[in-house]
Structure 1
């Protein structure tokens, strides 16, 4: 129990000889530095919030206005307020001493002018950000006059360099679509998938809903859209993620993969882990200080940054029926999982971040730790891979007090988790790629803490990746972090000729040593761990995951075809699915709605009448008419691009219908139409991983993106990233237990579909 004693900084004993005081000077210094760091963060947070709150105005402008008003009144004897200052003086004469009345009135008037200016600029910016027609205009042609004037006004209002949250108060709310519009768009989306009789029944249910209870539900939703910052996001997080009772592994969490460089600059996992951890902590500091620049589309239009707040110090806590997200303002430590053992690692020394050289030394100590570990302790993390209600019950029974509570709290309140794997992974063959992707998605089911917001995973040969929990944010947020980490690892921090970290001079002996977390593994807890592990293993073994690289062509060729790269790939996926399954199925593609405050995602439905005609044409005969196929493809891609743009602008179908369904549940009113819509399975779930969001990734260290598990038991999950000009990576997942799906077969069908569409333009 040496670790427990070392955590006591101050104690005293009453003896026969008097009062004996024991204290640890080094630990008290750490406590003092922790408090100083906390206060610095609070002051910095206050200053940053003030600066972001008045954007696009500035705090400095207040000083300018005060100086101008004081100079005009006291030196030039000119009243700049047209009598307002005199009125303030008469009001304040009965409250303040005569000496300070005029000065206070001048300052008060200056503050009023400053606030009025700040609010005017903010609402002017908000009005400009409501404009969305620029999205629908072709990038090839010259923008319209209205769009050009809008862009000029937007740039004039944002001359000041924005901070991470500067635009938050100016972002518009997600618009609530008219009920009739959503119903019409839904019917259009299902028409290619239904027979005439099925579509007639769906149309009847939709019209009955629109003329009946739908209007009542829409009024409640209108009230929420008017009152809340975003009428979707809170319900989406709660009902789609936090109320989900299935295990997080495979079903919810996603992963990101390392850069596919042929030769890593180091083979030392301790060095690679140190550079990655240090880069992540630098990113955390930038987020905390709001020094990270917000992502701007067209270098002018901001995306919502609210999700960045919970990247670090965040854990999903299991609870009966509904989980909750625990987020701490700060965390002075990370947790390292190595060989089945958990270690708490302090990341500061004397108020500063430990440099990579120190972190490398500490990681090496953890790797070399040869203390014994019991089978139950090595399987402890499997609890986070089990059914959420089972994990919640186990947590309540066995982790509410004593040693287990202290150790679990250390994990849940850590900045993030680092996993040091005991296996090597590489990318030389397709089998190695598949194995590394599987290791990042689920590992061995007992060597990942799936509740954490994200965990960095380092293989024995220094290959790296991450696993992310989905409820608190969407993949582009962690993709931004990952891009930053890889850039700093390869371009900024780097390694010396021995493969060791370059930054810093090792003072690891001055840093707090890693503390191994201890557990009280009682027989009932061991039984729960064993059951959780067996359940998680059954989930993991059912995953069929393939990762492959399409190198025949990429973005360069697709753009020469004058179509959207995303639409091009979506048409290929539909063609591949039709060949694989013999029919089309409801397809999900994720798009973002971060043009609006607290926006997350919307669904694009790629299957349309236009895409169905194109696929029918491609499969009509062995020799198809290239010109006709090209014409149908261009129409389908153009229509898909329009649907994607409408979804980005809040004109999608599924989030609106989802919220109407939530209202129906609250009101206990059954709707056959909504029940039918929400019960439709997404047998093909797709998502594009963003590449190079902030321009840090170059062709030398292209990442393969990331992936996720299948959404439906009898379906496919497909993630893709257009990596560079001539490369596209696909992550294809399905379930082995399903007899009608096969990830390897579907991957080959995707390759064939891409080749067939390419031949249309050759």
Structure 2
């Protein structure tokens, strides 16, 4: 099919009478309105830069300072203690000539007022940074808040009283501290103690002590120097070496997925679901661009989290390179890229500077669905290049996609706001095998057919034939909580704000003069088609090996867990330790993701959930020891886990520090047996909680069926498990378990059953203690009432 041409602003032909120029006023009007929208965005960005640049003060406070200074001078007093006079003496000669003495004094007073205002802003920001550097509040017991923390909360509320923009706190957030090397080594040895025999632990202790006393101090000095210079001493190296320098497939290994509602599909009409979803995503992008989103905070507090990851959410793609990939971000994009049945389209979502209505986007999507034209040679499976190894994709991109129509079409995908796949399958918890279909739904979102997603995009939206939706996100630019925040807003806006008509279509009117979605044109030579087949084979083998199991745990939720005065996350993590011990007969190095966004440009830190305390509890329970002995061990394990989580959040974790020391050692060209062994240890149990950040968007009391399924990821180790979970409401926890079929020792369904049983066994153990305590206190209470 020939490329669909867009309307042009003017046409001309050469005739014997001269040049015949024909202007298209409609097209010129479109260009004008589009330019107005662009300028409005620039003005908005400038305004926001000023507002957040002076936060926690306001731009209007400058006028207050000026009036106060002038009023004081009017009362024959000099608040500047002679500085205004000195400024007046150093005014340019031209001002001395053109202004009277009184005018020169006024100008000098304005200059002094501005300098005073800027000084006050710097002082306020410094105070706010000091306040945000205080983390002791996190380690205090519930209900026992110290006086220092009470004063701190009061001061923080005062300085945060003005309504902030999304990025208002960025420059006030503290920098991530470099932990003392002695503390990191000590915590590391504690974390591996339950995993090693006595001789192995003795050898590791000798390695660690030798490193600490010799090479470690040298590496630490370089790392502290970087921490003084860089905004965050971890994040840039983490992004580059953990994500962008990986040469293997990012599909399954790095990308992760998010699911739709569990019980509800707002509409069965595929085009309508796409229309509302695209609209909701673009409304979210507008909020990000205008900084209208509220800064994310630690739940239940006024403490802000870093919002830097939002900057590259849209109009971003990961481009392959020979040695390392590069994240490319564009300031704006007025179109999305769409894939359907082997064809790629560019869909413009703005016209005359306005966002198309959901009904208009549905209309355009339906035109793509109704297009029966076949794919061009080599087009249908082109996306497999993004699913396979990175180096072949890099070579193909440089050689065959750097000029001509291939470059223009690739640019349309890479510069798009995001990627949409109109899948020709039906997915969700449905039919006679809802549990099996839920597993297939997860696999579809994780890898699809290995060529019908563009895995390099910051995120790809999948709309299925039956109206079910989901997303696949690239990992290097941001972590899951950032994408989860976007997805929560999208689902809630789609279902509760935009809504659908009775017949399942989007609301609103349609301008039927909209130009057709633009079909992308390719010229794909046989060499590229051969590489597509190779990349597809690599990706297909990886996809076929993934064993996904998704299950809702409905026995109880955080409501019953909190009644036991236990952290829900600690309860689940200890349950996972018990499940793994029963599944594999031992313990393993366990990864739980924790955020470090209390610091500027913070990403994640590792909570090593397998501790001496958790292993002691599991062994006691499995050895059949008395319940009275097991319960205190569980409490100790829970408190230990909470403390490890707090340490990770406050910059005192283990793994990011050791990782950066290892990077420094590589730059210096020195070998460390200790660091080499630490960083080669496999994470056989990789876990992560998907946080619910915007519960106010979902009315689960009146709409209990609108429950989010959360999302998941592939296994990190070939012989391990990947476990993601989301705590929904008070009575439900959804789990996503992944492993590999090629490992005979792992089975996702078996491990899922072990998780369910472990959680129920722990609840039975702790509930028995609660019942005993209740019986013990019943009689005295009755006597008191009598």
| TM interval, short-chain normalised | over 0.9
- SS of 2:416's equivalent? coil
The structural deviation recorded for 1:377 is 1.5
Deviations 1:134-180 (A, max 9, x none): 111123x1311111110000001111001100000100000110000
Counterparts of 1:211-230 in structure 2 under 5 Å? 211-230=213-232
Residue in 1 that maps onto 2:334: 332
Residue in 1 that maps onto 2:509: 505
Residue in 2 that maps onto 1:321: 323
- In the alignment, does 2:76 pair up with 1:94? no
- SS of 1:449's equivalent? coil
Residue in 2 that maps onto 1:48: 48
Count of residue pairs the alignment pairs up: 755
Structure-2 separation of matches of 1:270 and 1:327: 28
- SS of 1:6's equivalent? coil
Deviations 1:679-716 (A, max 9, x none): 00111100000113463234232211100000011111
Deviations 1:22-47 (A, max 9, x none): 55444433333332222221211111
- In the alignment, does 2:618 pair up with 1:619? no
Residue in 2 that maps onto 1:474: 479
- In the alignment, does 2:376 pair up with 1:395? no
Structure-1 separation of matches of 2:110 and 2:513: 51
Match of 1:555 among 551, 554, 558: 558
User: 4+ residue runs of structure 1 moved beyond 6 angstroms?
Assistant: none
Deviations 1:637-668 (A, max 9, x none): 11000000000000000000000000011111
Q: Which moved more, 1:16-25 or 1:266-275?
A: 16-25
Q: Is the 8 A contact 1:345 1:512 kept in 2?
A: no
The structural deviation recorded for 1:93 is 5.8
- In the alignment, does 2:121 pair up with 1:122? no
Residue in 2 that maps onto 1:416: 418
- In the alignment, does 2:746 pair up with 1:741? yes
- SS of 2:462's equivalent? strand
Structure-2 separation of matches of 1:256 and 1:131: 34
Structure 1 residues 439 and 106, CA, compared in 2 at 3 Å: closer, same or farther?
A: same
Residue in 2 that maps onto 1:79: 78
Q: Which moved more, 1:96-105 or 1:213-222?
A: 96-105
Structure-2 separation of matches of 1:353 and 1:476: 27
Structure-2 separation of matches of 1:7 and 1:661: 56
- SS of 1:546's equivalent? strand
The structural deviation recorded for 1:13 is 5.1
Residue in 2 that maps onto 1:299: 301
Residue in 2 that maps onto 1:67: 67
RMSD value, Cα:
1.6
Q: Is the 8 A contact 1:480 1:694 kept in 2?
A: no
Q: Is the 8 A contact 1:295 1:693 kept in 2?
A: no
- SS of 2:594's equivalent? strand
- SS of 1:325's equivalent? strand
Counterparts of 1:457-472 in structure 2 under 5 Å? 457-472=462-477
The structural deviation recorded for 1:11 is 5.5
Q: Is the 8 A contact 1:295 1:694 kept in 2?
A: no
Deviations 1:255-312 (A, max 9, x none): 00011234x3321111111111111111111111111110122331000000000000
The structural deviation recorded for 1:561 is 1.6
The structural deviation recorded for 1:8 is 4.9
Counterparts of 1:128-207 in structure 2 under 5 Å? 128-139=131-142, 141-207=143-209
Residue in 2 that maps onto 1:703: 708
Deviations 1:622-647 (A, max 9, x none): xx411211111111011000000000
- SS of 1:21's equivalent? strand
Residue in 1 that maps onto 2:650: 649
Residue in 1 that maps onto 2:682: 681
Match of 2:719 among 710, 714, 717: 714
The structural deviation recorded for 1:2 is 5.5
Deviations 1:44-74 (A, max 9, x none): 111101111111011010122223333443x
Counterparts of 1:361-760 in structure 2 under 5 Å? 361-374=363-376, 376-428=378-430, 429-502=434-507, 504-507=508-511, 509-621=512-624, 624-693=625-694, 695-699=696-700, 700=704, 701-760=706-765
The structural deviation recorded for 1:3 is 3.4
Q: Which moved more, 1:468-477 or 1:689-698?
A: 689-698
Structure 1 residues 77 and 512, CA, compared in 2 at 3 Å: closer, same or farther?
A: farther
Structure-1 separation of matches of 2:278 and 2:5: 28
The structural deviation recorded for 1:222 is 0.2
Structure-1 separation of matches of 2:92 and 2:437: 81
- SS of 2:743's equivalent? coil
Structure 1 residues 295 and 694, CA, compared in 2 at 3 Å: closer, same or farther?
A: farther
Counterparts of 1:266-285 in structure 2 under 5 Å? 266-285=267-286
The structural deviation recorded for 1:505 is 1.8
The structural deviation recorded for 1:521 is 1.9
Q: Is the 8 A contact 2:720 2:739 kept in 1?
A: yes
Q: Is the 8 A contact 1:271 1:500 kept in 2?
A: yes
TM-score (normalised: structure 2): 0.94
- In the alignment, does 2:106 pair up with 1:103? yes
Q: Is the 8 A contact 2:262 2:429 kept in 1?
A: yes
Match of 1:355 among 354, 357, 361: 357
- SS of 2:697's equivalent? coil
Q: Is the 8 A contact 2:2 2:521 kept in 1?
A: no
Structure-2 separation of matches of 1:679 and 1:88: 63
Structure-1 separation of matches of 2:209 and 2:343: 59
The structural deviation recorded for 1:375 is 6.6
Deviations 1:456-501 (A, max 9, x none): 1111111111110000000000000011111111211111111111
Residue in 1 that maps onto 2:779: none
Structure-2 separation of matches of 1:486 and 1:495: 13
Q: Is the 8 A contact 2:377 2:524 kept in 1?
A: no
Q: Which moved more, 1:747-756 or 1:21-30?
A: 21-30
Counterparts of 1:226-265 in structure 2 under 5 Å? 226-262=228-264, 264-265=265-266
Structure 2, gaps ≥5 residues long: 768-786
Structure-2 separation of matches of 1:172 and 1:487: 33
Structure-2 separation of matches of 1:54 and 1:694: 31
Structure-2 separation of matches of 1:484 and 1:4: 34
Structure-2 separation of matches of 1:664 and 1:2: 55
TM-score (normalised: structure 1): 0.97
Q: Is the 8 A contact 2:338 2:347 kept in 1?
A: yes
Residue in 1 that maps onto 2:290: 289
- SS of 2:360's equivalent? helix
Q: Is the 8 A contact 1:425 1:435 kept in 2?
A: yes
Q: Is the 8 A contact 1:356 1:501 kept in 2?
A: yes
Structure-2 separation of matches of 1:382 and 1:230: 35
Structure-2 separation of matches of 1:253 and 1:31: 38
Structure-2 separation of matches of 1:383 and 1:446: 8
Q: Is the 8 A contact 1:253 1:469 kept in 2?
A: yes
The structural deviation recorded for 1:581 is 1.1
